[in-house]
């Protein structure tokens, strides 16, 4: 019976994905940074409460700035990202690379550039410089993973964990637990499915669609964040 229910859940989720997300060849908002935790961090922090195009512009400006410095942004580490703030400061980084977006909808919220700086510092302090380091952290689990995630989520505006999950989506550590948005989407598309099986269901649907598991996760994340944003998820802990 469990096998039958699982098959039904997969079929329902597949139908919902085809209905809501369309042809996977149109998913031009899907991005991967397999060798640059710096690009992944900028993308993750900037991706909430904005259109995908805005995040892409910010990442592109960061990459252009680093190329102007003679560096290769596609391999930038967390330390490389943090160093850009040593050079530019938060205000300079905002003017040169970012914009005046804030971490949540309040004039008292810190700018996203400050959140990027703090996120980079969290990763550096945790000894996490590359996506490979993040993979090892996730695989190891335990106290080390909890400590880094807790520090990331202590950044004002990041308490929901959405951007922490996003970091996994865009760098390849998709074994991180599915974000609240992905769980919400699956619950709506396949009522009665188990939250613990979310990853398996997503992988099966990705296989049927012929796309990478991370691409499907990003596509659903994008759909939920832009079409049906849940303010409670986005702003959870915003007052921290």
Residue 37 lies in a domain: yes
Query: Residue 174: its pLDDT value, please?
Result: 67
Query: Residue 34: its pLDDT value, please?
Result: 93
- Express each pLDDT in 41-85 by its tens digit: 999 999 887 777 889 999 999 999 999 999 999 999 999 999 999
Query: Residue 162: its pLDDT value, please?
Result: 85
Residue 69 lies in a domain: yes
Residue 29 lies in a domain: yes
pTM: 0.83
Residue 44 lies in a domain: yes
3-state SS track over the chain: CHHHHHHHHHHHHHHHHHHHHCCHHHCCCCCCCCCCHHHHHHHHHHCCCCCHHHHHHHHHHHHHHHHHCCCCHHHCCHHHHHHHHHHHHHHHHHHHCCCCCECCCCCCCCEHHHHHHHHHHHHHHCCCCCHHHHHHHHHHCHHHHHHHHHHHHCCCCCCCCHHHHHHHHHHCCCCCCCCHHHHHHHHHHCCCCCHHHHHHHHHHHHHHHCCCHHHHHHHHHHHHHHHCCCHHHHCCCCCC
- Express each pLDDT in 132-186 by its tens digit: 999 999 888 899 999 999 999 999 999 988 899 889 989 987 666 677 778 889 9
Number of domains in the chain: 1
Residue 15 lies in a domain: yes
Residue 239 lies in a domain: no
- Express each pLDDT in 81-128 by its tens digit: 999 999 999 999 999 999 998 888 788 888 999 999 999 999 999 999
Structural domain of 80: 2-234
Residue 240 lies in a domain: no
């Amino acid at each position: 019976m469990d096998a039958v229910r699982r098959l039904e859940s997969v079929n329902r989720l597949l139908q919902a994905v085809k209905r809501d997300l369309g042809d996977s060849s149109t998913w031009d908002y899907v991005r991967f940074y397999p060798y640059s935790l710096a690009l992944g961090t900028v993308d993750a922090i900037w991706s909430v409460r904005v259109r995908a195009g805005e995040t892409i512009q910010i990442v592109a400006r960061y990459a252009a700035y680093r190329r102007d410095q003679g560096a290769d942004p596609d391999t930038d580490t967390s330390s490389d990202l943090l160093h850009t703030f040593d050079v530019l400061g938060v205000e300079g980084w905002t003017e040169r690379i970012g914009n005046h977006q804030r971490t949540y909808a309040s004039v008292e919220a810190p700018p996203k550039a400050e959140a990027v700086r703090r996120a980079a510092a969290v990763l550096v302090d945790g000894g996490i410089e590359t996506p490979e380091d993040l993979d090892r952290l996730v695989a190891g689990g335990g106290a080390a993973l909890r400590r880094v995630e807790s520090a990331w989520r202590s950044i004002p505006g990041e308490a929901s964990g959405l951007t922490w999950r996003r970091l996994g989506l865009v760098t390849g550590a998709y074994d991180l637990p599915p974000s609240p948005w992905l769980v919400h989407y699956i619950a709506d598309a396949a009522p009665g499915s188990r939250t613990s099986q979310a990853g398996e269901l997503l992988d099966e649907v990705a296989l049927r669609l012929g796309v990478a598991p991370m691409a499907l996760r990003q596509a659903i994340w994008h759909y939920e964040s832009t079409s049906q944003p849940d303010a409670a998820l986005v702003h959870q802990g915003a007052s921290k």
